[in-house]
Amino acid sequence: MKRLKLLLLFLLFTTTYTQAQWEVQLDNNNFTHLDRIFFLDENYGWTIGGATIGDVSPYFYTTNGGEQWYLCDDWMNRMGTDICFVNQDTGFIAASEGIIRKTTNGGQTWTNIQTLATQHVQRLFFVDDNNGWATLDNQTDDFQLLHTTNGGNNWETQQVFTLNTSGLHSLYFLNDSIGYGGGGYFDVENDDSYSNIVKTTNKGDTWENIYLSQNSFYSIDDIFFINNLIGFAVGCKNSINTHLILYTEDGGEDWDEHYLPDLENWYGQTRTASIIYSIEFANDTLGWLTCADEYGSGYVLLTTNGGETWQQQYVNRNLNVPIYDICAVDENNVWAVGGDYIYHNNNADTIIIPAKVENIKRDSIRISPNPTTGIFTINLPNEISTAQINISDITGKEIISTNQYSKIDITKQPQGIYFITLKLNNQIIQTQKIIKL
């Protein structure tokens, strides 16, 4: 009966569209905000969110690779900002006010573990069944990390920075000893801000700065290491609203800045990446990152040469909806999440041609009234703010060229058939017929 209830709830949410090898597995129709996703293997996965909007959300889960997604039972009491599992039974949720939730029966029941923290728990990272870390939100305590060595039953505090106006936003551990964090701190006394990448070699007991940028207002949103030496740190240069991607090939001793190519949105317009939210690799050469342009639209970029170059693989057709997180379990199975949507790709090493304006559905552009006695209006999709409109007669002679859509007047033209051509960035979107009575 419980399974039936969850299945009926699932049917309230809809799978919508596909673009090449990417598909939307779930659209939760504004039910909740999702920005974190975690897969244990090709079948078992979980997604949760809220951190990017300063909130918490319930979680969804799947046991068949996302063919069906289920809302957790008693979801009002299972909210959080991050989720991870170390096996099919044991998992954790980052929650509010220093609470970390733990399950040992696959999510049927959860136990709230109150840590010494008073602020919200943000990110979770486990390297095995016993060893895990958690980052914290508002830095009001004299520590920035929580650490467990007994499977999350007890959590100790760890200090990364000496100032409590500081914190870590991203975290990555190679093993139970060596780890990296991305964050920063504000020196109140000297009115200075610093962006940092830090490293530990003793389970987080002590940390050293391996990258420091003063007064830069950089955010380090994610870190990933391919092996002990080669790694990436990604985020945003907030002061100039552009993306940040740092690369190391010596374990973080030195960092070089890389850059992404121009992006192309769903309508063929050129955009630039303003922030990179996440980065993930399936092996030494094949990797993905998620980013957003200056208007907030989400993209997935692919590398097949270990991050030397990146190519756009997917763009979200829903403008102003970022893609926040990505998770790869192997070369063929990759999931991403952002806002209402869960995305999946089972042909993940393929480069596609980005979507063009021809993907606009014909019925999304309406001409009314049609037929007309002379005055009509063209209704465009909300995503298109401006377009060039050319009207020609049946001989091909152009009679009107305008960028005005309402109350177009062909009253003085003779009765007959006319053709309306819409262009965006000098590219024809559509040509439609109108009849003048």
| Digit-coded pLDDT (tens) for 25-78 | 888 877 888 999 999 999 999 999 877 767 788 999 999 999 899 988 788 888
Angle at 333 between CA 332 and CA 336, to 5 degrees: 130
Q: Which of 124, 86, 116, 128 is nearest to 104 (CA)?
A: 86
The model's pLDDT over 89-111, given as tens digits with 9 standing for 90+, comes to: 999 999 999 999 999 999 999 99
Domain boundary assignment for the chain:
2-356, 358-436
Closest of 281, 272, 353, 279 to residue 312, by C-alpha: 353
pTM score over 0.85? no
Per-residue tokens: 113: 């573990």
Check residue 187 and give its pLDDT. 67
Q: Where are the alpha helices (DSSP H) in 284-414?
A: none
The pLDDT, as a whole number, for residue 316 is 82
Q: What is the pLDDT of residue 427?
A: 57
d(CA 344, CA 23): 5
Contact (CB, 8 A) for 296 and 356: no
pLDDT of residue 16: 38
What pLDDT shows up at residue 11? 37
Please say whether the structural domain 358-436 has been given the CATH code 2.60.40.3080.
Answer: yes
Task: Tell me which residue has tokens 């999440």.
Answer: 337
328-333 LR contacts (CB < 8 Å, sep 24+): 328/280, 328/281, 328/282, 328/287, 328/288, 329/39, 329/40, 329/41, 329/42, 329/282, 330/42, 330/282, 331/282, 331/283, 331/286, 333/39, 333/42, 333/65
- What distances in angstroms separate CA 277 from CA 76, 244, 268, 323, 337, one per listed residue? 27, 10, 23, 8, 11
DSSP code for 117: -
Q: 2-356 domain in CATH 2.130.10.10?
A: yes
Burial of 180 (0-12, 13-18, 19+ CB in 10 A): buried
Give me the pLDDT at residue 403, please: 79
CA dihedral 268, 272, 278, 282 (to 10 degrees): 60
Which residue numbers in the chain have pLDDT < 50? 1-20, 352-360, 362
Query: What pLDDT is recorded for position 392?
Result: 85
Q: Which residue reads 């002990």 in tokens?
A: 228
